């Protein structure tokens, strides 16, 4: 017999928040430093969920052998860290959804692959997100999504059995 859903876990980027504009700004800064034109909208939408790697690979059409990807990624992270919330916004209806969960005492949390240092910088811009019963980042555990361990851990933190949690996101 199916178990009722009594808790909800959300992805952050692309689910609760539209972070694509600010991530694209960071990628475009790195690309511009190498004389590469900015990403086009379809490249941004198709690659933001793959983070720095996806955006930079799209812009460079693959990372050229003569460039060091860890250095490119660090440049992306440095710029993104300094400009974490210029154009990032809640998706339409998310605030209402979270407030409704709160009103009905449904525990909810965030499970993201975004590193903790960036998550910790971003969330204070959205105080409602700080009400999450759990915030599990990409570097909280040794394994990250798509491995199930972070989701199992997040369900423990919100005190809901994993088989009674819904996960919304990618």
141-157: per-residue pLDDT in tens? 999 988 999 999 999 99
Question: In this prediction, what percent of the chain has a pLDDT beyond 90?
Answer: 89
Query: How does residue 66 score in pLDDT terms, banded at 50, 70 and 90?
Result: confident
67-85: per-residue pLDDT in tens? 899 999 999 999 999 999 9
Cis peptide before 146 (omega within 30 of 0): yes
Contact 111, 9 (CB under 8 A): yes
Is 18 part of the annotated catalytic residue set? Answer: no
Name the strand (E) or helix (H) holding 108.
Answer: strand 108-111
Given a cut of 80, whether residue 2 has pLDDT beyond it is no
Residues 11, 18, 65, 120: which is the catalytic one?
A: 11
The gap from C-alpha 119 to its chain's centroid, in whole angstroms, comes to 8
| pTM for this predicted structure | 0.91
> Three-state DSSP class for 71?
helix
Looking at residues 94-106, what average pLDDT do you find?
98
Given strand 7-10, what is the order of strands in its sheet? 134-136, 108-111, 7-10, 165-168
The pLDDT value recorded for residue 8 is 98
Is 65 part of the annotated catalytic residue set? Answer: no
Structure tokens at 79: 């710029």
């Amino acid at each position: 017999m199916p178990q009722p859903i009594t808790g909800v876990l959300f992805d952050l980027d692309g689910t609760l928040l539209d972070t694509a504009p600010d991530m694209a700004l960071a990628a475009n800064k790195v690309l511009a430093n190498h004389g590469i034109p900015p990403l086009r909208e379809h490249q941004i939408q198709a690659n933001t969920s793959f983070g720095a790697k996806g955006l930079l690979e799209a812009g460079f059409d693959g990372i050229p052998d003569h460039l060091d990807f860890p250095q490119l990624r660090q440049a992306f992270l440095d710029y993104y860290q300094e400009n974490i919330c210029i154009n990032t916004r809640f998706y339409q209806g998310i605030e209402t959804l979270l407030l409704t969960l709160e009103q009905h005492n449904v525990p909810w949390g965030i499970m993201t692959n975004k590193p903790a240092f960036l998550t910790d910088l971003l969330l204070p811009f959205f105080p409602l997100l700080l009400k999450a019963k759990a915030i599990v980042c990409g570097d909280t555990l040794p394994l990250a999504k798509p491995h199930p361990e972070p989701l199992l851990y997040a369900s423990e933190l919100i005190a809901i059995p994993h088989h009674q949690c819904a996960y919304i996101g990618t």
